[in-house]
Amino acid sequence: MYARWIGTYGADEFGSVVRAALDATNEIAADVADAERAAMRRHFRTTSRYEWMFWDMGYRCERWPVE
C-alpha cells in the first residue's frame, strides 16, 4: 500500500531536492552569526528527533497518544 510513497525517498528526483536544500542551508549558514547558526542547529536537532519519533512510532506499532 505504501510502496510508492516509500519509493519516493529513494528516487533520484528526491535526492536532487534534498541536495539542493542542503546546499541552500549551508550557503545561508555560512553568512549568519554564531548565535543564528546555533539556533539553526537546535532546530535541526528538534526536527530530526520528531522525524525519528514518527518512524519509530510506526515501527513499534504505537498509537497516537492524544485522543
Q: What is the pLDDT of residues 21-64, one digit of tens each?
A: 999 999 999 999 999 999 999 999 999 999 999 989 989 999 88
Are the CB atoms for 29 and 40 separated by under 8 Å?
yes
What is the model's pLDDT at position 43?
97
3 has pLDDT over 90? no
DSSP 8-state class, residue 67: -
Q: Give the mean pLDDT of 9-13.
A: 88
Name the strand (E) or helix (H) holding 4: helix 3-10
Domain layout of the chain by residue ranges:
1-31, 33-67
- Please write down the HEC assignment for all residues of 6-65: HHHHHCHHHHHHHHHHHHHHHHHHHCCCHHHHHHHHHHHHHHHHHHHHHHHHHHCCCCCC
pTM: 0.69
